[in-house]
Amino acid sequence: MKQQAASVLGLSPNAEKVLEKRYLQRDESGRPIETPEELFKRVAKHIASADAAYGRSSKEVKETEGVFYEMMTSLSFLPNSPTLMNAGRPLGQLSACFVLPVGDSMESIFDAVKYAAIIHKSGGGTGFSFTNLRPKGDVVGSTKGISSGPISFMTVFDTATEAVKQGGTRRGANMGILKVDHPDIMEFITCKDSNSRLNNFNISIGITEKFMQAVEDNAEYDLINPRKGTVAGKLKAREVFDKIVNQAWKNGEPGIVFLDRINASNPTPALGEIESTNPCGEQPLMPYESCNLGSINLSRMVRSSCDGSAEVDWIKLKDTTWQAVHFLDNVIDVNRYPLEQIDQTTKSNRKIGLGIMGWADMLIQLGIPYNSDAAIKLGEEIMAYIQTEGRLASAALAEERGPFPNYEQSIFAGEMMVRNATITTIAPTGTLSIIAGCSSGIEPLFAVSYVRNVMEGTKLIEVNPYFEEKARELGLLTRELMEQVADTGSISHFDQFPKDLRDIFMTAHDITPTDHIRMQAAFQKYTDNAVSKTVNFANSATTRDVEDVYMLAYKMGCKGVTVYRDGSREDQVLSTTEQKQSSAPAVSAAAQKIVPKKRPSMIKGATRLMNTGCGNLYITINEDEEGRLFEVFTNMGKAGGCASSQAEAIGRLISLALRADIEPIEIVKQLKGISCHQPSWQESGRVLSCSDAIAKAIEKYLCTGKNGNGNGGKSDCHEVMRIGACPECGGTVEHEGGCAICHNCGFTKCA
């Protein structure tokens, strides 16, 4: 097992690796030029500087800086990634969440495309409602032509995102929402059925109360033409709902967002309706509005009681909440917004999104099973406390600095003067939870034990520190047993461990979908905005299981739902329409032999130069007559010896595998992320080793068009992401918090 060596700040080695790879400032050659300590000092100093504008002395500003620094370095609280990356740096864009309007004109549509590109370049993610676009086949007034509909325009946004994200430190991500009464709703539900489309979008259906009532009554409902505001037809609500359920069961999308419920808690209804959310669905926003997020680490909010048992440290939680509200409010002032309209709207409402992470860790420390009534009750108490103290902290800031400018047009007018229109949001914490060394958001543990790929291809067994301590006490901390646990990540079927321990150390797939929803609803009850959470299903789950969860979420007061059936996206990719059907009789496994195909006399391909720590590596990839990858040759420049011979051996083995019809993506998954002692950099990013270089060359070859150099038959360069492996290190991608995260390297699908 790997023993976690602590850094000066108490960061785990993996946290330091993620910080180095994704957050620390770099010089022109790509080398980090700051330490984690310097990063947190940079952020604390920049955010605290906002206090000076409100009459605080330089000494008081310095004291605030110290408070913010301690709060982050103790890992009690962390702001969203753009704040960590950009605070105190020239870019200065600190928000993660944006919503842009898309109006029913060519000018509005392409303004939104341009604005989204600017936001993605700055490190933010964007949400759009396409409900206002006229349906497919409708008349275009200016030309008397025919509209192509909202889905066709979504591909323009998707292509722009793909172009921008290639050079960014964070991947661009979008949310696309279409209201359930739009005439193109059936096409929208299935618009991500093909893996070659809209891969930079999460999509959700905007559900109304009328629609849900029609589902329950098995009735029809009206479709509304947004251009005319008139009824454009009717659909059976149950058939539409079943289509949504079936598609979500198939590949996890679309999600659903309860728009009427979101607007029922809109703090500024006089300013208009909320039509969209950020990419993960937890932050509803007005057009041209942004929000900055941060999370309290609940694993650090536990203390020992007088009798030695663990208990919630309510005093520390209160202090951290007040400090976090102060921090996030300051972010609004020092933020450099990518657009003037966003600057104005954001400062008019001053929304912040304070959430949590480490919830599963807190429950483990307290000895409470995640799926118990006690956990649900405590979840409500924790979030109610944070919401109450957060509003009190916002009210105190309002006394000093004034309420948000749109206060008189808000639901708070005449009741409670607050600085911020919203206070709480529960967002996916992805890489933040890796830095903090805790569980993500309000999710259960993703694994009790798992395998991490490290340098030179070595695989180390990572064990949850709380579980490691318990296993050691029981005399069960053996490498053999931990390797067995790592196969599934769960101890639920290991009788060696006592039942109470198995109950406490539950993972996401040990918990029923119903219990996932109960937990989401418990936190939603006291969250101003929304809760980002993934409801995990076993691969064997049925469409009825998904339907039950959707209905339960609706009845329990959730504002949206994201589901993921284990392996569903992998099945979709591996079962392509191009897959050949064999009519040969079945052969027993013992009698089957794999015979590599013979090399034809003529073959075509391309050679790619990759910079490695051992020198220039020339990688030639050839195709057979059908355009399938067939063989790989390597040449280590002028170098020879061990590196050259190993690269040649890898190439021969890859060629053998390709000629035996092994999927190239599977080869990429095995080789990508293997490190050596001397990594290097090139234009496309870091090259960890010769093995990593070969994997990346194959992956690049699989891309068609200008981004690739082969005929690999894939128009998208992120196939690995969609079949459950990290596109950067080959590690396992976990679906949690409405997003996808690699716990090995910190890669996340969501901006």
Q: Are 403 and 411 in contact (CB under 8 A)?
A: no
Angle at 354 between CA 351 and CA 359, to 5 degrees: 155
Q: Are 279 and 175 in contact (CB under 8 A)?
A: yes
Rounded Cα gap, residues 95 and 333, in angstroms:
12
- 8-state DSSP, 582: P
**Position 420, amino acid:** N
Structure tokens at 99: 């919503």
Rounded Cα gap, residues 658 and 671, in angstroms:
14
**Position 512, amino acid:** T
> Locate tokens 């969440």: which residue?
97
Q: Which of 191, 280, 614, 676 is catalytic?
A: 280
C-beta neighbour count of 197 within 10 angstroms: 15
**Is 280 marked active-site?**
yes
Q: Which of 16, 162, 275, 282 is catalytic?
A: 282
Q: Are 384 and 357 in contact (CB under 8 A)?
A: no
Rounded Cα gap, residues 432 and 489, in angstroms:
21
Which residues, in sequence order, are bridge partners of residue 88? none
Q: Which of 80, 86, 278, 709 is catalytic?
A: 278
Which residues, in sequence order, are bridge partners of residue 631? 622
**Is 263 marked active-site?**
no
In a 13 Å sphere around the CA of 155, the CA atoms on its Cβ side amount to 11
Angle at 517 between CA 511 and CA 521, to 5 degrees: 135
Count of helix runs (H) and strand runs (E) in the chain: 25, 27
Rounded Cα gap, residues 707 and 602, in angstroms:
26
Closest CA to 112 of 94, 123, 126: 126
Active-site residue set: 278, 280, 282
